Amino acid sequence: MANTIEANTLRDWLESDEPVVVLDVRSDEDRAQWAIPGSVHINAYEALKTGQPGALASAMLPTDRPVITVCNAGRVSQAAAAILADRGFDARTLVGGMKAWSLAWNTADIPLEDSTVQVVQVRRTGKGCLSYLVGSVDEAAVIDPSLPADIYVDLAHRRGWTIRYVLETHIHADHLSRARALATRTGARLLLPVQQRARFPFTAVADGDRIHIGAATLAAAHTPGHTGESTSFVLNDAAAVFTGDTLFTNGVGRPDLHADAEAARERARALFHSLVRLRGLPSTTLVLPAHASDPIAFDGQPIAASCGDVASWLSAWLASESGFVERVTSTLPPTPPNFVRIVDLNESGEIPDIDPTDLEAGANRCAVR
């Protein structure tokens, strides 16, 4: 039996820069979907599965640090760890593989000129889901939580904040929302954009509504397109804008989930106007999206871009409405895995007693780039 390491421990090691090699033994195809930042890849999956001797013969690995072997679910990687252990390595296998890794997270502080408020970006590194803790004085709001409640409660506690509000920018299709659970756990108010989708109690937020957190303010801006209810939140005097899946640092939200071809075009037209509106923010406003397009390194570097930087590519996209609609309805990536079931659960607000990573594993596919 190979030695093991839990995803949480590996997360802590990477966050604290412990010397470690992560060896990904999956197929090229699986590797291309998503990976652990900084990991080494040797496609040994078939060889290991079929017990071929010398499966990792070509592996050139350092001997002065633990080697963590990783596969999809943590079984084939056991064989890899056993082979390496026989060769004298301190080899351990990641329990639960990439599926367990999908809950690993890290944080980055968002640099803001405005000293009355702090924003922490909380990232699910594998899936690239970005959530935010917005704190001011002794209060905080969480935007788009995608991780278990305790993680946000603990992060807020360490900064002396009490979570008063939990906000969602839209009904998510790529991960199970943890917003309702977090609001229940903390007694915070659950704020969702005005909509007819969610089938559980919430406080509806409409365009222009303002939410006060300590000395900070979030102003809601309805930015439909990715979904009908999609809403962005502008922080204070446009220091930053939380754009959900409407606008990313290098792409825009796909308009086609749960929509036929005509509905997708309709949404694309709405998205065009929402993006024109967001582009009108000051060039210094920081765009803080709900997704990154690649696995997020443990480097503390925020996934963010100024509106000015975004405008450098977005303006070409927004040259004409018809061109934009054509662009975002013709070059769509495959739909996110299990999105119909995930959306249904997020609308019902009931997370069943299942392992959420069974539904969520895999890369994010909410963007058009």
Here the tokens at position 199 are 């089938």
Question: Among residues 143 and 366, whose Cβ is nearest to Fe ion?
Answer: 366
Task: Determine which residue in the list 94, 239, 275, 366 makes contact with Fe ion, applying CB under 5 A.
Answer: 366
| Mask for 228-267, x = binds Fe ion (CB under 5 A) | -----------------x----------------------
Q: Does 171 bind Fe ion (CB under 5 A)?
A: no
| Shortest CB 253 distance to Fe ion, Å | 6
Is the CB of 83 or the CB of 342 nearer to Fe ion? 342
Shortest Cβ distance from residue 240 to Fe ion (Å)? Answer: 19
Identify the sign of the CA torsion 169, 369, 284, 110: positive
Q: For residue 209, state whether it binds Fe ion (rule: CB under 5 A).
A: no
User: Can you read off the two tokens belonging to residue 89?
Assistant: 């390595």
Residue with nearest beta carbon to Fe ion = 245
Residue in 92, 22, 59, 35 with CA at minimum distance from that of residue 361: 35
CB 266 within 8 A of CB 257: no
SS3 201: coil
What is d(CA 15, CA 297) in angstroms, rounded to the nearest whole number? 9
Q: For residues 258 and 277, which CB has a smaller minimum distance to Fe ion in the complex?
A: 258
Closer residue to Fe ion, CB minimum distance, 63 or 348: 348
With CB under 5 A as the contact rule, which of the stretches 44-52, 274-282, 343-351, 360-368 interacts with Fe ion?
Answer: 360-368
Compare residues 117 and 257 and give the one whose CB is closer to Fe ion: 257
Distances (CA, A) of 302 to 157, 204, 249, 275, 292: 21, 29, 11, 22, 10
Closest CA to 363 of 330, 333, 323: 333
168 binds Fe ion (CB under 5 A): no
Binding site residues, Fe ion, CB under 5 A = 245, 366
